[in-house]
Structure 1
């Protein structure tokens, strides 16, 4: 409500004034009451431990230091210079508060980050960006520190202590086996603080098992309380630093900055495909033939694979065909994530069996490994851990499959340059360029080797924290950078193939992402019966249109000391749709559902937790749904995956937090790639729940919501009755003044 007051007569000395108040009425179901905040939100900063302090070192996991192959190429520390923290603190600008050293280095730093990326300054450029990212990582990890926590002894291994860490299963914070945590006694008044270092032996759903010094264990009591400080794992940073140095040392200019000048025309071979599905897909066949022929060498070959177009199937076929055509070939097949590597490997094993080796990092847990891959992996039953064989053993395999980071072990172990004739990187758009280069620099020959990149620059890229690292190019993957190169502008040539046939989604689901990101070129080739399975579902506002946007005027909430957001109104709507799906399954021609058929995507960890709790609380759903089978997670967790039914909760319902989302690169309004991935996971039915007024401030969301309205797929709050555009226009015409006497933002 807006009230404006002014004098009866327009006297110059009597200024008008305003009162603007928001009135809100909330109607809650019993479910919303049970899911409500456990305590008012209050950010708790963990007090830093005092100096001076002493460190009592814990016990590292057995074999942690001895499971590596012999070190041939050393990994340096690559510590960032202290003056860089000063420059970051002062916005990378000159300031009277800068030290003399920082002021002296500022022109050089600005010169490096503002210059176009080139081979001459390649390592300097990425060293600097990686340092900036590390500085921000060290600040960001503090948000997860815990205050006044207790631990319990592990009932199986009495030498380990169990610490509850909410969100650890979602990498918030990211904690791996072998990482260390620092603990101090809560309320310790001693002039010399003792810091207890605990090493992670096992990561579970919401807890970690830690080992400490024998002295600490002897004195430990269950009621002791501690402040917990998490640390970042620097190994991944060091591997990237080394990779960009090796890229320069091994003169990979024609791979990383291809000119195309030295590429001769080569004949393309005829194929007898392993996967019959490729026979009718001209683009997939062309990509495989170009890769076998090496038509782009020494430049990388790119398989541009929009959602559901089968880029991983294409990569698997190409790897098989290369080994068939060239028996002397050795292939390194990588991806940024373990799940993507596992999918690659499972595609290769049926035809290649013992020629394939899946190499896992030591930090992986046995339970996370697909059963069919275990016997092809580096798991050692006797030692009860993953081991790294000597290079002579590894070099016998035709194909090694591993993540980009773990590929760095091959460099460390001394696999010679040129041993791998081909390096394949799937989902290459998700990796920062230095991460991608780990699998290339020091392993692939610049003259004879072939680098093959598959991915989609329109889907999610690397996850970064530093706004400076993002601004100056670390967010740009090698795949996306090369796609901007003139050699890769014309699809279907000897450098790049764009896959066009979508085998996943109904055309109504695909339409808006296709128009926004793929020039409308994607063609619907999904199985007709599967894609139209829900076109006659009673829950659709419009039969024949399996897309719903359900408008909800909810509320952003936080609780206790968690900075993450949740929206109870949206959860209530999701639960209603789930119950209707369950009630109608198997009726009127609808398929029977399993929990694996449904995925729920939401950008905030707290909304994930609340949705999972709601599934447990609802008596109807909990009899049907095993939480392990129905996946609820972030967009990042769903990239590369698909489900028959996808439900999306956007959460954001307040303009106050929109800027925060953009600053921290979270939520759906800050990232068009996140929007694209979320809307392209569904095969048969897409349900999006959100605040239409907030979302329409983004051009992509506005187009999607308008499309749903036009096709009568809109449900929920009646926008026409709300007349929000007319209301906003009227309010803006009032020229409301903020506290500083300037015209304020109504929102």
Structure 2
């Protein structure tokens, strides 16, 4: 019955859309009749879809939702024997409370207090405690956490720094180094590279509007690195590569450069000139900028570093066109909970004061260094 109703709703929606498009061609009695048909038709369709949604939710063993979505009308009046909140250390307490209201039995908070806290734009709200997650408040109240200490994502050499700096050396490695191979023709036996462009011109500056920071020299170096690892000589697919930076201004600049680079690559391909991967080497960058390679990232601590993959992922064939869509470019905050085979990290900051901006928060630095 549900299957038949689903098919009927699709047919009804199609008829209503067609009738809606024909309205400008109608007049008089025909127009009035069409409007009545549309009104009753859309009402019927909404009833069918609500009934199908309720049937699906009633028969589902697991329902996934955002924290805000947990307060939606479709879940109103429903309770569950178990509620699991993922990335709980990044959720404000009011948001987490929406999901807590659905629990009639147990609640599991999954998170890592050594990674990003809730985003709180209001300084007044931050001082009042909104930036402290329910997870952290529970720890402070003496709730004993279950700590996951085995990480399965990173190459052990990539995990070593985060383990020592953020987790008191407690992380152990479930990943076999032999299964965490860099892309073909990686220029080092180690999974981590640094591109040093200290002293070059065109470094850190305020982004247009003055609300962010960017670094043109470093951005050009990052674009060159991406072109090399994704080109014929590099062997990595663009979809395997992620570019991470703490600043929205730098993210926007990197997307522009990669889009331009992708258009040039496409032009060369049409002309028979091959793809990316040429150039004269890194054209600049920040002294703190680097290239992280291999399989990477995810801390341990309160959340642990489980998840990820049980087997090392291999790099896909480098047959996709290089572009800002193919190579994912995000802020550090936007990359939390995500991973790529290879990460290029653009730190942006390069100044005589030694100011590191957002990266002064060790939790943001931890996320940045554990995405690969």
TM-score of Structure 1 vs Structure 2, range by shorter chain? 0.5 to 0.7
SS at match of 1:575: helix
Measured on the aligned residues, the alpha-carbon RMSD in Å equals 3.3
The 5 A counterparts of 1:31-42 are none
- Alignment partner for residue 454 of structure 1, among 86, 92, 110? 110
State the 1:405 CA deviation.
Answer: 0.6
Q: Is the 8 A contact 2:86 2:110 kept in 1?
A: yes
Equivalent residue number for residue 563 of structure 1: 211
Cα offset, 1:570, TM superposition:
0.3
- Given the alignment of the two structures, is residue 516 of structure 1 paired with residue 159 of structure 2, yes or no? no
- Counterpart-to-counterpart distance in 1, 2:184 and 2:167: 25
Task: Tell me the SS of whatever aligns to 2:113.
Answer: coil
- C-alpha distance 537-584 of structure 1, shift in aligned 2 (>3 A): farther
Work out the CA distance in 2 between the residues paired with 1:530 and 1:387.
Answer: 47
More helix by share: 2
Could you tell me which runs of 5 or more consecutive residues in structure 1 were left unpaired when the two chains were aligned: 1-156, 158-381, 489-495, 587-591, 662-666, 683-747
Taking a change above 3 Å as real, the CA distance of residues 397 and 562 of structure 1, as seen in their structure-2 partners, is same
Q: Cα offset for 1:547?
A: 3.6
Structure 2: which 5+ residue stretches go unaligned? 1-20, 22-44, 268-274, 276-320
**Is 1:675 the equivalent of 2:334?**
no
Among 416, 432, 440, the alignment partner of 2:100 is 440
Correspondence for 2:192 among 540, 546, 549: 546
Question: Does the C-alpha gap of structure 1 residues 550 and 481 become closer, same or farther in structure 2, counting only changes over 3 Å?
Answer: farther
Q: TM-score, normalised by structure 1?
A: 0.33
Q: 1:365-409: per-residue Cα shift (whole Å, max 9, x none)?
A: xxxxxxxxxxxxxxxxx66xx969786874443322111111112
Q: Deviations over 1:651-680 (max 9, x none)?
A: 123468959x4xxxxx323x2111000100
The structure with the greater share of residues assigned to strand is 1
Is the CA contact 2:183–2:236 (under 8 Å) kept in the aligned structure 1? no
What SS class does the counterpart of residue 323 from structure 2 fall into? coil
Say which SS state the counterpart of residue 451 (structure 1) adopts: strand
Shift of 1:555: 2.4
Q: Following TM superposition, by how much is the alpha carbon of 1:601 offset from its aligned partner in structure 2, in angstroms?
A: 0.5
Contact residue 155 and residue 191 of structure 2 kept, 8 A: no
Give, in whole Å, the separation in 2 of the partners of 1:390 and 1:610: 43
Structure 2 vs 1, CA of residues 558 and 481 (structure 1 numbering), >3 Å: closer, same or farther? Answer: same
Q: Which residue of the other structure, out of 332, 337, 341, is the alignment partner of 1:644?
A: 341
Give SS of 1:550's match.
coil
In the alignment, is the contact (CA less than 8 A) between 1:534 and 1:546 conserved in 2?
no
Deviation of the 1:504 alpha carbon: 1.1
The offset of 1:423, in angstroms, is 0.8
Aligned-pair CA distance for 1:518: 1.2
Equivalent pair of 1:508/1:547 in contact (CA under 8 Å): no
CA 1:476–1:388 in structure 2 vs 1: closer, same or farther (change >3 Å)? Answer: farther
Runs of 4+ in 1 over 6 A off after TM superposition: 386-393
Conserved 8 A contact 1:391-1:414: no
Q: Give the alignment partner of residue 478 of structure 1, picking from 110, 116, 134.
A: 134
Alpha carbons of structure 1 residues 482 and 560: separation in structure 2 relative to 1, 3 Å = closer
Q: Which of the two has higher C-alpha Rg?
A: 1
1:407–1:604 distance in 2 versus 1, CA, 3 Å = same
TM-score where L is the length of structure 2: 0.64
SS, match of residue 438 in structure 1: helix
Shift of 1:544: 3.0
Shift of 1:481: 1.8
Write out aligned runs for 1:339-488 (5 A): 394-409=57-72, 413-415=76-78, 419-441=79-101, 443-445=102-104, 449-488=105-144
Q: Which has the higher contact order (CA 8 A, sep 6+)?
A: 2
Aligned 8 A contact 1:459 1:676 in 2: yes
Distance 1:547 1:560, change over 3 A: closer
Pairing 1:625–2:322 present: yes
Which structure 2 residues correspond to residues 246-265 of structure 1 after superposition, within 5 A?
none
